[in-house]
Structure 1
Amino acid sequence: MFANLGNKIGPLLTGVGFTFLLAWIGYGLAFLPGMTQVGPLATSILIAVLYRHFFGYPHSIHTGIQFSAKKLLRIAIVLFGLKLNIDVILNEGVPLLLRDLLVILFAIGVMMLLAYLFKADRSISLLIGVGTGICGASAIAAVSPILKAKEEDTAISVGIISFIGTVFALIYTGLRPFLPLDAEAYGMWAGLSLHEIANVVLAGEPAGEKGLAMALLAKLGRVFLLIPVSLIIIWIMGRKGNKESDNRVDFPWFLVGFIVMSLLGSYVLGFYIPAPEQFANVVSAVTSFILTMAMVGLGVNISLHDLRNKAIKPIVAVVITSILLSIVSYTIL
């Protein structure tokens, strides 16, 4: 019995350790000069893809890799809920949420239209559309289990959204001095249109404290809408499941955890933790590292041959979508 237990625990721990090691290397490389804007997610996925290409898939530790890719992914999404201050969003009111909703619908709609026109991979295009509209890699990680997306499609989508989001954040930073916008209007534009929270911080900092605060507020409204968007996707998948009995969607309980953590972070923890900001920073760092480990687990499933065949058209589509989204969000300021 103990031998069988050891045969199961060994590959599990080794596989998790493998993803930890590659994530740690990715984090280290992401802090090197010239790499800081790329971020640890994209860096770690690239390392995982290169490992798969040169050394093959490590089948002997498959159990642990799958644990990181699936279980740790859900844990990261639950912890991500602590970053969402629901009270701030609700106090800002309906106008901001309406703008955020328009951005999400526009991004997903345009992305899927372009995917249809370009005959791009629909799964990857939908994941990227959700990431573009809501909150980048975190949104992709949240909806991929609901959509029953392939692990390699999830990793490809995260890699693309991380890279494109960084490029657009740098473009925004360069455009900032030439735009006829005050700090708060520029911050709202960045928050409404950029992909990742990290992208919003990068582009919003040149606008000062007021600009950055408005950027984060607009972005948090989009994060808040991840909840209803996920519920709508569950409903759509459920309807499909009724027609196709083998396609029923399991309720994503990790989404409940995300909501609970959001409520705790918004209304409870600040009253009982002596240094809530320091606590939030620690949780944010842990969440990012766990998510990076999950991305390594997903990235090992990508072959460069598949990446070349499946990613080119979605990349073109997301670049066009991001440009159009920047224009549309600018007009609704």
Structure 2
Amino acid sequence: MWLQAKESITFQNVLVIDEERRNSFVLGVLFTLCIAGAGTLLGEMPGFNRIGAMLSAILIAVLYRNVIGYPESIRTGIQFSARFLMRFAIVLYGFKLNIDLVIHKGGMLLVYDLMTIVIAITTTMCLAKLFKADLDLSLLLGIGTGVCGAAAIAAVSPILKANDEDTAIGAGIIALIGTIFTLTYTFLMPMLPISSVTYGVWSGVSLHEIAHVAAAAMPAGPDVLAMGLLAKLGRVFLLIPLSFILSLWMKRKEGNSQSQSAPFPWFLVGFIITSFLGTYLPIPEAVLKDISSASSFLLGAAMVGLGLNVHLSSLRTRAMRPLAAMVIASVLVSTVSFLALMLIGL
């Protein structure tokens, strides 16, 4: 009887623990989704619509963490959002990439896109070493600047084994600086000695996020917007080989150490599959738009999970030097790509 009672108590304890974990998981995921929703609403308000929903959600998460504290009771669900929702969002992000359009109509644009990625990463890392900045955060910022902003940072952070705080800080910085550059481009557009189509290509080759390219090119007309997005899609396309190169680099880097080697980025296989599905299957445009919105929202929820790990003190101690390196690299990317388009053309 005593053994039966003991086993019954143990079984009840297990049920209680499982229920607590389940509640922590569900409430944590809902928490990140709610803040992502709040960020979406905030991002539509005057003023905040300039920085967008994702950065608004990250700001809410960072303020919550530093004013109220980390919600430890729902950590399980928050960590799930930060890791697995992020990978799922990147898989859905593949539907935005029209591979056929990039390969057959991109032409010289891919050369410019490759130039952007090389300049952004090498300049950021060289300046980071010169400034004695945090190299891990600087690498994330260089990749985000060169490829496709926060989405690129989210895609490579598991490969590089970046910590959650670096990923969140990097995504926030990219969104903020990219917004400033977008406003600058829009202001300069009437004064530039280039055609409107060339301006669209320049935006796509040099600006940080797809949303930034759309915002900068849209005022010049639909044809300019189309060229800008085509140029930007080339950089998204180059995220695929870059990610596999980084994976091989991490395996070689850790080959002589005792730590576990970098995992294969399986979610990028999903990204490639969804890219092919979006390119070659007759999926209605409305459905693709809904998938794109879902991808952006889930990526925002994932960034909320990461943003809850950010200490404001770390922004001063760790982020300022990488930020300086990234801004200089962004200016160099804009300048070099502008001169190349003027001198060489399309």
* TM-score for the superposition, normalised by structure 2: 0.93
1:245 positional shift? 2.9
Residue number in structure 1 paired with 2:65? 52
Distance 1:123 1:310 in 2: 10
298-307 vs 315-324, which deviates more?
315-324
SS of structure 2 residue aligned to 1:36: helix
**Deviation string, structure 1 residues 224-282 (Cα, Å, up to 9, x no partner):** 000000010011001112111304101111010000000100112x2xx4xx1111111
**316, 320, 333: which one pairs with 2:324?**
316
Distance 2:216 2:243 in 1: 27
Distance 2:25 2:297 in 1: 19
Whether 1:66 and 2:72 are equivalent positions in the alignment is no
Residue number in structure 2 paired with 1:282? 290
Distance 1:318 1:223 in 2: 19
SS of structure 1 residue aligned to 2:259: helix
* TM-score for the superposition, normalised by structure 1: 0.97
Q: 1:320 to 1:207 in 2, by over 3 A?
A: same
SS of structure 2 residue aligned to 1:31: coil
**309, 330, 333: which one pairs with 2:338?**
330
**118, 126, 132: which one pairs with 1:113?**
126
Residue number in structure 1 paired with 2:195? 182
Residue number in structure 1 paired with 2:312? 304
SS of structure 1 residue aligned to 2:46: coil
Distance 1:251 1:94 in 2: 30
What is the letter of the counterpart of residue 279 of structure 1?
V
What is the letter of the counterpart of residue 78 of structure 2?
I
What is the letter of the counterpart of residue 319 of structure 1?
V
1:95 positional shift? 1.9
Whether 1:228 and 2:241 are equivalent positions in the alignment is yes
**Unpaired stretches in structure 1, ≥5 consecutive residues:** none
Whether 1:265 and 2:259 are equivalent positions in the alignment is no
Distance 1:97 1:32 in 2: 36
Aligned residues: 328
**Unpaired stretches in structure 2, ≥5 consecutive residues:** 1-13, 342-346
SS of structure 2 residue aligned to 1:246: coil
Distance 1:203 1:233 in 2: 30
Distance 1:189 1:154 in 2: 27
Distance 1:58 1:185 in 2: 49
**Deviation string, structure 1 residues 4-23 (Cα, Å, up to 9, x no partner):** 32121100001111111111
Q: Which runs of structure 1 show a deviation greater than 4 angstroms over 4 or more consecutive aligned residues?
A: none
**161, 180, 185: which one pairs with 1:148?**
161
SS of structure 1 residue aligned to 2:309: coil
Whether 1:38 and 2:46 are equivalent positions in the alignment is no
How do 1:80-119 and structure 2 match up within 5 A? 80-119=93-132
The answer as to whether partners of 1:134 and 1:222 remain within 8 angstroms in 2 is: yes
295-304 vs 1-10, which deviates more?
1-10
1:93 positional shift? 4.7
1:308 positional shift? 1.5
Distance 2:179 2:306 in 1: 21
1:182 positional shift? 1.0
What is the letter of the counterpart of residue 277 of structure 2?
L
**Deviation string, structure 1 residues 109-160 (Cα, Å, up to 9, x no partner):** 0000110111111111100100000000000000000000000000000000
Distance 2:159 2:203 in 1: 28
Residue number in structure 2 paired with 1:201? 214
1:94 positional shift? 4.0
Distance 1:17 1:76 in 2: 16
Distance 2:314 2:17 in 1: 36
What is the letter of the counterpart of residue 121 of structure 1?
D
Q: 1:46 to 1:93 in 2, by over 3 A?
A: closer
Percentage of identical aligned residues: 53
Distance 2:272 2:194 in 1: 35
**Deviation string, structure 1 residues 195-217 (Cα, Å, up to 9, x no partner):** 00000001001221111111000
Residue number in structure 1 paired with 2:19? 6
The answer as to whether partners of 1:152 and 1:298 remain within 8 angstroms in 2 is: yes
SS of structure 2 residue aligned to 1:243: coil
80-89 vs 204-213, which deviates more?
204-213
The answer as to whether partners of 1:238 and 1:249 remain within 8 angstroms in 2 is: yes
